[in-house]
Amino acid sequence: MPGQPIPSELKEKGLIWLLPPYCWSHRQIARKLKISASVVSKWRCELVEQGLLPENEKITSVDVEDWTPERRFSVVLETATLSEMELADYCRRTGLFVEQVKEWRAISIQAHEKKLTENIRTDRALRDAKNKLRELEKELKRKDKALAEAAALLILRKSSMPSGTTARKTDPSHGAA
């Protein structure tokens, strides 16, 4: 008992996704279009018969959820200079999807931009801290000089007094009686 016929728009989308530059897997297309993977497999056979896809093309699904960020980034680097067709071929050979690679590329760019912004902020903060340190050191030197000058004046004042006497402030209100 065959199921309901697939609308032509859905089939057209599925066929497009089977071909480069997309090269999606049967499961991904079936999931996206909410149809059976065997239907997508039949569509692929039609494309092979028409000569639009090679017969020996084996699409393997790779579970990229377990991939480390480093491995994903290495794929981004490997595919950075590839054209759409070359990228589709690469994805077919490795069992990836073009959309995954493009998403990883976008994530890498965002991470780089975020890091660049953080570096700029850090550089500004560091420059401000250095300027503040310079100002504080300048102020400290000025105060050290003032303190040294005050100490020298005190020593001079003490040394200019006759020995045995101490410096005393005289208060004019107590006058001599």
Does 176 have pLDDT greater than 60? no
Structural domain includes residue 167: no
Using an 8 Å Cβ cutoff, are 44 and 26 in contact?
Answer: yes
Assess if residue 106 is contained within a domain: yes
**Beta carbons of 40 and 30 less than 8 angstroms apart:** yes
Q: Which among 16, 43, 61 is the end of a domain?
A: 61
Q: Pick the more confident residue, 69 or 52.
A: 69
Residues 88 and 49 in one domain: no
In a domain, 122, yes or no: yes
Are residues 46 and 73 located together in one domain of the fold?
no
Q: Is 1 domain-assigned? A: no
Q: Which domain holds residue 25?
A: 7-61
**Is 112 found in the same domain as 53?**
no
Residue 142 sits in the same domain as residue 93: yes
CA distance 150 to 148: 5
Q: How far apart are CA 22 and CA 96, in angstroms?
A: 10
Residue 91 tokens, joined: 């994805």
pTM, two decimal places:
0.40
Q: Are residues 73 and 148 in the same domain?
A: yes
Q: Residue 50 and residue 107: Cα distance in Å, rounded? A: 38
Q: Which of 76, 81, 98 is nearest to 89 (CA)?
A: 98
31 located within any domain: yes
Same domain for 35 and 99? no
Query: CA–CA separation, 42 vs 165, rounded Å?
Result: 117
Q: How many helices (H) and strands (E) does the chain have?
A: 6, 0
Q: Which of 18-22, 85-89, 101-105, 146-150 has the lowest mean pLDDT?
A: 18-22
130 and 49 in one domain? no
Total number of domains in the chain: 2
For the stretch 2-35, pLDDT in tens is 667 888 898 888 888 888 767 778 788 888 889 9
**How many alpha carbons fall within 13 Å on the CB side of residue 77?**
6
Say whether both 86 and 120 belong to one domain. Answer: yes
